[in-house]
Amino acid sequence: MAVMNVNPTRMQLTKLKKQLTTAVRGHKMLKDKRDELMRQFLDLVRETKDLREKVESELESSNNHFVNASAVMSKEALDASLMSPKQQINIETKSKNVMSVEIPEFTSSARTSDSGDIFPYGFAFTSFELDYAIVSLNNVLPDLIKLAQYEKSCELMSAEIEKTRRRVNSLEHVMIPRYQDTIKYISMKLEENDRSSRTRLMKVKDMLLDKAHNYSGKAQAN
């Protein structure tokens, strides 16, 4: 029996009962939080899995175009074509609170609105395969940013779920049983003290009656 090292008094008993009530309420709230986090986490994991498969497929297509471009262009020409990019992507980071977890939100924006700025070269001396590769990468970029957001969110939610699970287990298997055992121990001690007090009072009462009415002397005379 895991009993706390406390004085077995009625004041301590009342205090522990209040703490037990608070612990039970906190345990229920943490369990509800853990369950809701798990539900949202699993939904996000499924979305992340689908998005990752889509991104990997698009990246594979883009890589194939780059391979084909490198097959018909020299390495020097390919490197020179990609050396001076025109376009620039800015990413703004925000966060939102989901069950006390601050998960990120990424928003991307291009430096210019001209769609042609994604090509950092002229078209005279480059392969059309390189054009396809650039367009493919440009198209996959929003999904790639969203994938980064989802995966970071999964990581943060997973850490919070584990932390909440440890707290739930600590309350369920350690703190609440310890409060219950200590309350039971103090209650038994107080009952034992009450019985002892009643026994002593009865003995004192008999002694006082005996002294007042000389019951013992009368018993001997008889």
Average pLDDT over residues 63-79: 90
Residue 7: pLDDT band (50, 70, 90) is confident
The predicted pLDDT at position 174 comes to 92
Percent of the chain at pLDDT > 90 equals 55
DSSP codes of every residue in 13-41: HHHHHHHHHHHHHHHHHHHHHHHHHHHHH
- Identify which has the larger pLDDT, 112 or 196: 112
Place of tokens 């700025």: 117
Tokens coding 49: 């899995």
**pLDDT band at 215; cut points 50, 70, 90:** low
User: Which two three-digit tokens encode residue 9?
Assistant: 């008094």
* In the chain, domain spans: 35-159
What's the pLDDT score for residue 175?
93
Token pair, residue 186, equals: 């103090």
Instruction: Choose among 152, 62, 27, 33: nearest CA to 102.
Output: 152
The answer on pLDDT for 1 being more than 60 is no
pLDDT in tens, 19-68: 999 999 999 999 999 999 999 999 999 999 999 999 999 999 999 999 99
Q: What is the pLDDT of residues 149-203, one digit of tens each?
A: 999 999 999 999 999 999 999 999 999 999 999 999 999 888 887 777 777 778 7
Distance (Å, whole) CA 133 – CA 78: 12
Residue 122 has pLDDT above 90, yes or no: no
Q: Which CATH architecture has domain 35-159?
A: Orthogonal Bundle (1.10)
Give 32: exposed, middle or buried? Use CB within 10 Å, 0-12, 13-18, 19+: exposed
Residue 45: burial class (beta carbons within 10 Å; 0-12, 13-18, 19+): middle
Q: Binning pLDDT at 50, 70 and 90, where does residue 214 land?
A: low
